[in-house]
Chain A
Amino acid sequence: MRFKSKSQSEKSPIWLKTLAYSGLVFLHFPIVFILINAFVAHDGNSTYFTLKWFSATLARDDVISAVLLSLKVATAATFLALIMGTMAAAALYRRNFFGKEAITTMLILPIALPGIITGIALLSAMSMLNIEPGFWTIVVSHATFCVVMIYNNVVARFRRMPHSLVEASMDLGADGSTTFRRIILPQLATALLAGGLLAFALSFDELIVTIFTAGHEVTLPIWLLNQLARPRDAAITNVVAMMVMLITALPIIAAYYLTRGTETIAGSSK
């Protein structure tokens, strides 16, 4: 095995290639397993492919309301995170001031600390203030850890954007708000979109924090967790599991293509 420059064609040792691809198989087989299970029915001794679980799932009110709640929560949390993440990024990307490190650490803290700590902390604050858990407490908790997704994407884009663009625009007579609309916003657009998609996917899936802040509300991940105690309902669970996979996979792939070729790729750290 010799190392050569990447531009020359080189062959990897076969054991390494095998290891790498087996790793990918390990990462994907539970997912493939779920996808296949959603289409399979057992009837006595025969096993066959079917779509009947899909219509059965769509007829379930509890599934539909859990999906709708998760979509609403994810939308609201993403919206709040977009505003705060962009503000924080705009404030922090160029200036150096006392306490800047502390602020960035604070933004990262909700995903750096285990979710159970964030969850139980919010719950204890809510119980101290006599706030009843519900839709808005879920949104607040989700927005808290979504901000960093937006911040990371937008701050990376700000750093790549030459400040001379802004100066040129102002020199040519545009005022601050025009510069923002015509110059800054178009530059940020894909970063905002990518960050927003990731935040949406993160919120849609979240379970660890949500359990503490949801009260009696049932989001889709909580619904799935409750389903684990009902093995007889497994066919419906499989279909919902597959739907959740698809709903989160699409934003991730979209975010990847939106930020490909830039120095930091969205989603490379959760």
Chain B
Amino acid sequence: MQSVISNPALRLFSNTLYRKNNLFLFLLLTPPLLWFGVVYLGSLFALLWQSFYTFDDFSMAVTNDLTLANYRVLFDSTNLDIILRTLTMAVAVTVACACIGFPIAYYMTRYGSVREKGFFYIAVMLPMWASYIVKTYAWTVILSQEGILYFIFKNLGLTGALESLLQLPIIGGNTLATSQLGRFIVFTYIWLPFMILPIQAALERVPTNLLQASADLGARPAQTFRKILFPLVFPGVVAGSIFTFSLTLGDYIIPQLIGPSGLYIGTMVYTMQGSIGNMPLAAAFTVVPIILIFLYLALAKRAGAFNAL
């Protein structure tokens, strides 16, 4: 088998690697570690470092004097409002995704035939991977006053009901496209698939005979659900919520395109960095979602979500 034997130098090199395990490990890990350690973590530290720089409001210039002023500004009432507003939306979207996602995941796992399951799988995965900006664009058209939703409501004679819904405080607005309700719908739509798949994976691991045993021992379906199924699937729901929570928290495109004008954490960072040029405050603001997400991840870890991922 002449062709199997490679040239001697290569042979020596590859055999050395096979024998010297640690050398091989070192060579394998160096490029990714350099990339992530230098490019990625380096950038994160550069960002963190800039959050201590000073921004002069009068000259609109950034100087290298270190200060904690940017972090103090975070606790101003307007900025606390921004944080609270974003947090509320992230929680609302997470809850909505769990409520809509659970029946879909449950149906496909428990009742779907092999073919139906495959169909559901692709049907969830395609919208998840479909272009973010295209989906958002579609919703701006759908929610607009000339859009299909207004058209449907009008033809059903429900325009009055829609109008009174939009009169409500907090969720309301002039039109669907400029209301918190509209923004909430779009967020829920965009992140829903990220909730369905972890729940489905968790459901897949629940042994069916546990549910049979519960039913045999006289539990009603609702009891079986509450006492057996839900506790077992809960880590999956938490795993999904990590995505919906974190993605909503950092988004800055959807709040710009849909909903009322109030700033979100993401849009605040974007305007501070872009139009105002106050990079230090923008950098300080990014620390907020990082802290919130790490807190959330710590909670999720206690709920066992990482084993469900």
Chain A residues with CB under 8 Å of chain B are: 1-6, 10-12, 16-17, 19-20, 23-24, 26-28, 30-31, 33-34, 37, 83-85, 87-88, 90-91, 95, 97, 103, 106-107, 109-110, 112-118, 120-125, 127-128, 140, 143-144, 147, 170, 173-180, 182, 201-202, 205, 207-208, 221, 224-225, 227-228, 234, 237, 241, 244-245, 248-249, 252-253, 256, 260, 265, 267-270
Contact = CB atoms under 8 A, between A and B. Distances in A.
Contacts of A201: 129
Interface of B: 4-6, 10-11, 13-15, 17-18, 21, 25, 28-29, 31-33, 35-37, 39-44, 46-47, 50, 100-101, 103-104, 106-108, 110-111, 118, 120-135, 137-142, 148, 189, 192-194, 196-198, 201, 208-209, 211-212, 214-215, 221, 224, 242-243, 246-247, 249-253, 257, 266, 269-270, 273, 279, 282-283, 286, 289-290, 293, 297, 309
B197 A252 contact: no
A258 B7 CA distance: 34
B189 A106 contact: no
Contact of B249 (A11, A23, A114, A225): A114
Nearest to A170: B18
11 contacts: A2-B215, A20-B103, A27-B193, A30-B189, A103-B32, A114-B250, A114-B293, A175-B6, A178-B5, A268-B197, A269-B309
Contacts, number: 275
Nearest to A204: B131
Contacts of A180: 14
A114 B111 contact: no
A121 B266 CA distance: 14
Contacts of B139: 30
B228 to A, nearest CB: 9
A262 to B, nearest CB: 14
A113 B290 contact: yes
